[in-house]
Structure 1
């Protein structure tokens, strides 16, 4: 935190304020992510996201007003957290429901790419205001206030796109659903008609299998399995340690390069730039080339190895001296950057599309809400305890995350399902759901239909 922020809010316990300001937003995000699904179910994905962005901007406004009150700032953090959590729970569902299966992983993982872009920009803005502006209120108000720019772009940008095809079909608005699918696929050819037939049959089979009882749907073995997987994926994402590094990068790097604040901010800025470049390369070239499951397993063990090396280096050699960081300190930073690259090729982007694609349409709101609320719950927990872990354990903190990575790799190896290249309707067969049906037959039925109405009749006959 900048000296100007400390002067404006007049506090002395930097560790506590740092932990509280980050964790409060995560707490608000957890509450909103867990509770947003009834609104998304009733009003649709598009309008729910727009409402979330409006709430987020209101919260940020409360943060930047010159109140000189930590209470006002904290209230703003909670409110902005509501908007953030709601949007992160609904956006993956919207993306999964509108994406072609061939590039669904790439589009779903783009959320992590945009997260990384935002983190990178924020790091460099922090570095810029720290080194170029005097210690006045603008030094912290500019970085905080700029959060409203991407929120406004998302909220206003959604005015140009249609509502989710599958949500419209679930609500019985078949013609609107067809127009939505035509728009997003830029075609009304046979393949698009077949896809539309598959969507309709999938929804009808869900209704037949569940008899409209949502609570009982969640207790079905296939859905319990999916909920457990979703919970685990986002818990594991936080247990990699990379989110903690994103929040508290300067504090981490100070344990390696010394107390030079500008230098630690510079390294953190480079860390953010690497994060964005790595996840972009993964999404463009590898996301649809590699399977979800082997990518997660191998990367977990690679991150374990990197963190162990970091810990050994820090406790067998001197990382920093009075004259600055040593070669061992530089090597440690390099290993952390390597771990970051591995994370951006795996646990950073993959949980988002994975958890959105494994649920059937009827309970996708609930499933994604549980998944994303888990992310925010443990985000809250680690953002609260990480400053104290750094203060107490130093670089042994990396060893803790190494142990978590080992457990994650083993769990994925034994329990995760491979979803790459499968349609959302095929997930029912993959998870042995009661609503499973012959997807190939449904698509063939759609390919032989002359129009949308014919496809719909074919769906009923199937």
Structure 2
């Protein structure tokens, strides 16, 4: 019998350590929107209100551009160095960028450079974290542990919102007011790098490189067990790696164009593009600006509403991880989540168009309360579906042979559209107003239909079963649904 308690604890520990990358992603996503509203930041970097939209756009968007570039080059590095060393390197690069951001250079150009460097570290980690997690987690916990990334991401956002609110309320408008929130990014980045020393390297990566003794030690450690079940799992992993190596010796670009592989790559790109197109990430980056559009409140009130928004994200994602992650199919949740988000966003657009917010800093109207409630329901739906599920889903659908490239392709798509929407959102808020919510709602409706038509179920299948199955059978997800039900 397996030592299930110790094995689960080690699997959860691995998930917590690697998903500090998710916390870092979330903290960085949430912190800047509030920092950009601080008068101390505007004063130190000396830009006018006329340039505020451009600064908001570039300060967030350039980091996503750096992350996108990292996704294109990180997979051969992860294949050469392994998962642990690559995450350590990612942590170090991010820390360099964060230090550049924190120094009060009075230069937006220098701040932008820091954002790009930090983005390279962040983007690299975002590729390797789900790869490492999926390769090490037991299949019965893979959905839950894979969802840790989103849970830590939402907790990072939650933390950043309350840090922004605290420095606005408690600190004078000096450089320290904006430097402290930015500098605190170094804490999760450092914990990610140092935490790697407590983990074993990926069993599948070690097997692929021919380090079979180390691979066995890694599997025994993470399962806390040397029983026949672990022996059988090790043999299954070895067979899977050997079969893939025999079938296609030497990775060639043409291999990626094979029907099964191109279908997987397209699915990964589509899933992460859809995640960004829900509008939830734009809310995470520009929460204060969105709530100003809804209620036109004071800076303090907008930050408070944003902080509550972050708390709701954490509660919803925690509920998903604890009670839903491995109990219901991925496909059904993604369809229902997108449909509900579409209803919330389109209704918000209708309310804002019919009854716009009152004067700036005034009392919040009943229509304003209604729109805030709709956005809170929207973020609950997101964190029960499209927030956590794309990470484990995409990490599951690739064979070991192209897993690095596949996950990198999916996450690169995530960062590309993260960049596109973070760059355009300030202009959307400024120019479209209520139409911004309508646009997100229409995107969500398209995502719901597309998920119903094309996604396949993966819950309950081992990575080897998914790898060697006919992933080309996609319509209605029937190939996967029939096997798990």
User: Is the contact made by 1:8 and 1:68 (CA closer than 8 Å) also made in structure 2?
Assistant: yes
Cα distance change on mapping 1:213 and 1:80 into 2, 3 Å: closer
TM-score for the superposition, normalised by structure 2: 0.88
In structure 1, the partner of 2:290 is 252
User: Is the contact made by 1:256 and 1:325 (CA closer than 8 Å) also made in structure 2?
Assistant: no
In structure 2, the partner of 1:157 is 195
Q: Using the alignment, how far apart are the partners of 1:214 and 1:349 within structure 2?
A: 32
SS of match in other structure, 1:348: coil
Residue of structure 2 aligned with 1:17, choices 51, 55, 59: 55
Say yes or no: does 1:394 pair with 2:433: yes
User: Is the contact made by 2:61 and 2:422 (CA closer than 8 Å) also made in structure 1?
Assistant: yes
SS of match in other structure, 1:100: coil
Residues 13-412 of structure 1: pairs in structure 2 closer than 5 A: 13-321=51-359, 323-412=362-451
Q: Using the alignment, how far apart are the partners of 1:212 and 1:79 within structure 2?
A: 33
Q: Using the alignment, how far apart are the partners of 1:17 and 1:406 within structure 2?
A: 31
SS of match in other structure, 2:172: coil
In structure 1, the partner of 2:39 is 3
Q: Using the alignment, how far apart are the partners of 1:255 and 1:43 within structure 2?
A: 47
Q: Using the alignment, how far apart are the partners of 2:267 and 2:396 within structure 1?
A: 12
User: Is the contact made by 1:210 and 1:216 (CA closer than 8 Å) also made in structure 2?
Assistant: no
Post-superposition offset of 1:215: 2.5
User: Is the contact made by 1:258 and 1:324 (CA closer than 8 Å) also made in structure 2?
Assistant: no
Post-superposition offset of 1:384: 0.5
Post-superposition offset of 1:131: 1.2
User: Is the contact made by 1:296 and 1:412 (CA closer than 8 Å) also made in structure 2?
Assistant: yes
SS of match in other structure, 2:141: helix
Q: Using the alignment, how far apart are the partners of 1:132 and 1:203 within structure 2?
A: 56
User: Is the contact made by 1:318 and 1:326 (CA closer than 8 Å) also made in structure 2?
Assistant: no
In structure 2, the partner of 1:440 is none
Q: Using the alignment, how far apart are the partners of 1:253 and 1:268 within structure 2?
A: 7
Post-superposition offset of 1:314: 1.3
User: Is the contact made by 1:235 and 1:375 (CA closer than 8 Å) also made in structure 2?
Assistant: yes
Post-superposition offset of 1:72: 1.1
SS of match in other structure, 1:101: coil
Cα distance change on mapping 1:386 and 1:262 into 2, 3 Å: same
User: Is the contact made by 1:120 and 1:273 (CA closer than 8 Å) also made in structure 2?
Assistant: yes
Say yes or no: does 1:428 pair with 2:464: no
Which consecutive unaligned segments of at least 5 residues does structure 2 have?
1-35, 473-485
Post-superposition offset of 1:34: 1.6
In structure 2, the partner of 1:444 is none
Give deviations 1:403-423, integer Å, cap 9, x for gaps.
Answer: 111111111111111000111
User: Is the contact made by 2:264 and 2:471 (CA closer than 8 Å) also made in structure 1?
Assistant: no
Q: Using the alignment, how far apart are the partners of 2:179 and 2:359 within structure 1?
A: 35
Give deviations 1:133-154, integer Å, cap 9, x for gaps.
Answer: 1110000000000001001001
Give deviations 1:240-274, integer Å, cap 9, x for gaps.
Answer: 00000010011111011114111000000000111
Post-superposition offset of 1:395: 1.9
User: Is the contact made by 2:294 and 2:356 (CA closer than 8 Å) also made in structure 1?
Assistant: no
SS of match in other structure, 1:431: coil
In structure 2, the partner of 1:459 is none
Which consecutive unaligned segments of at least 5 residues does structure 1 have?
434-462
Post-superposition offset of 1:21: 0.4
Post-superposition offset of 1:319: 3.7
User: Is the contact made by 1:244 and 1:382 (CA closer than 8 Å) also made in structure 2?
Assistant: yes
Post-superposition offset of 1:432: 4.9
